[in-house]
């Protein structure tokens, strides 16, 4: 396996950016868990039993039959009556998103995640392991994602972020597109409709059409001053991107500083035991998200908002960092019992801060057993859904950890 982590871009090195975009990511995650879904028309949408909601992700087999994202599920089923509908599973997507990130991070120390299923990789000065061949680099990334993350990606290769993003959209699924010079930009991008411009959208395309600009090439050849009355300060950027120009650097995300969740109650809660199940659910959600990111935290923060709309926060520092739901829940319960305003509450939240990379493998005894239990619960929820396993305490009114 090639890995260039720790490399630095050489002086004067030619800029090189990859954009990797997972193919029908949500569907791909379910297929990785259930191979019987492969080759079939599949959508992730709403509630399959109630047959309502909208399509969040559609396999390419479903797209070939006219099914698209954001389409009402009933419409999708009318187009493809044998459509396989699976319910969304956020924990499953987080799991595979993390595996994708691990592959990206092995290729470059400068990775900017655009979303859970796509990222830019700055590969400037890092082509030596692939003999200086950008195509070989892209093929290796695509192969390693398939083998190590269990999903597939399409890859765009270009001198800048904008072109790399545009390139990854041109040949899906599992395509590789290189836009490395002006001639390639003119040949591949300029004939496309203007709505293909990254960030343009249908409304932007309609405005361009009113200016007589129907294709990307039309925008590229336009004077920015012609667009300025309609697009303002964005006019120059739009024309530059159509020409294949983009000075924006790849910016790795800042490390997470906190992980939290909150919930507005169905009705104001006047008794502690009414809040207990909600605090437990929030603590479990926060803990799962910490584990998905391989993080743990030492400070638990409770937030609550009273019926009079007064918001308060209280916090407690734990003896050791944790990503274990019951520990977070115990701290949240203690903070809630000692809250300064004991009136009815309408919203509660739990947040964990003072984060660090998780070091759970060093635990012994009860800590190791809790770690193993968390791993088992996460595996079951990834396979069968977030509600496949819940703590019995969450089903009864209690505030006792």
Q: Which are the catalytic amino acids?
A: 118
Q: Is the dihedral of CA 39, 43, 47, 49 positive or negative?
A: negative
Work out the end-to-end distance of the chain between its first and last CA atoms, rounded to an integer number of angstroms. Answer: 47
Which residue, chain included where needed, has tokens 């009815």? 344
For 311, the token pair is 């918001």
Give the C-alpha separation, 44 to 27, whole Å.
Answer: 6
Nearest C-alpha neighbor of 30 from the set 102, 88, 103, 97: 88
Query: What's the gap between Cα 392 and its chain centre?
Result: 30
Max Cα separation, the chain? 71
Strands of the 258-269 sheet, one edge to the other:
258-269, 345-357, 295-306, 311-322
Give the C-alpha separation, 278 to 394, whole Å.
Answer: 7
Which residue, chain included where needed, has tokens 């599973």? 89
For 302, the token pair is 């409770």
Give the C-alpha separation, 295 to 358, whole Å.
Answer: 4
């Amino acid at each position: 396996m090639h890995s260039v982590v720790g490399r630095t871009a050489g002086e004067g090195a030619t800029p090189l950016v990859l954009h990797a975009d997972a193919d029908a990511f949500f569907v791909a995650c379910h297929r990785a868990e259930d191979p019987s879904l492969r080759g079939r028309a599949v959508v992730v949408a709403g509630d399959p039993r109630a047959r309502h909601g909208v399509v969040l992700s559609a396999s390419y087999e479903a797209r070939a039959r006219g099914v698209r994202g954001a389409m009402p599920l009933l419409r999708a089923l009318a187009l493809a009556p044998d459509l396989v509908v699976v319910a969304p599973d956020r924990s499953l997507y987080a799991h595979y998103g993390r595996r994708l990130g691990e592959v990206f991070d092995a290729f470059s120390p400068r990775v900017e995640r655009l979303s859970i299923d796509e990222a830019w990789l700055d590969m400037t000065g890092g082509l030596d392991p692939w003999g200086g061949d950008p195509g070989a680099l892209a093929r290796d990334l695509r192969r390693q994602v398939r083998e190590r993350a269990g999903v597939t990606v399409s890859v765009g290769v270009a001198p800048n972020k904008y072109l790399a993003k545009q390139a990854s959209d041109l040949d899906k699924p599992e395509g590789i597109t290189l836009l490395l010079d002006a001639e390639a930009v003119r040949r591949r991008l300029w004939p496309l409709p203007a709505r293909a411009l990254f960030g343009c959208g249908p409304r932007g395309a309609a405005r361009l059409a009113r200016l007589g600009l129907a294709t990307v090439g039309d925008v590229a050849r336009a004077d920015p001053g012609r667009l300025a009355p309609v697009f303002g300060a964005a006019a120059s950027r739009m024309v530059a991107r159509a020409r294949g120009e983009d000075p924006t650097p790849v910016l790795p995300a800042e490390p997470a500083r906190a992980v939290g969740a909150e919930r507005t109650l169905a009705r104001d809660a006047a008794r502690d035991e009414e809040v207990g199940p909600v605090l437990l659910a929030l603590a479990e959600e926060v803990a799962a998200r910490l584990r998905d990111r391989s993080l743990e935290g030492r400070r638990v923060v409770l937030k609550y908002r009273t019926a009079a709309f007064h918001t308060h926060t209280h916090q407690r520092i734990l003896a050791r960092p944790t990503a274990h739901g019951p520990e977070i829940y115990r701290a949240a319960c203690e903070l809630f019992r000692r809250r300064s305003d004991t009136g009815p509450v309408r919203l509660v939240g739990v947040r964990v801060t003072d984060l660090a990379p998780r070091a759970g493998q060093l635990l012994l005894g009860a800590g190791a057993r809790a770690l193993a239990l968390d791993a088992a619960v996460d595996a079951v929820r990834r396979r069968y859904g977030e509600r496949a396993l819940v703590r019995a305490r969450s089903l009864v009114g209690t505030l006792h950890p």
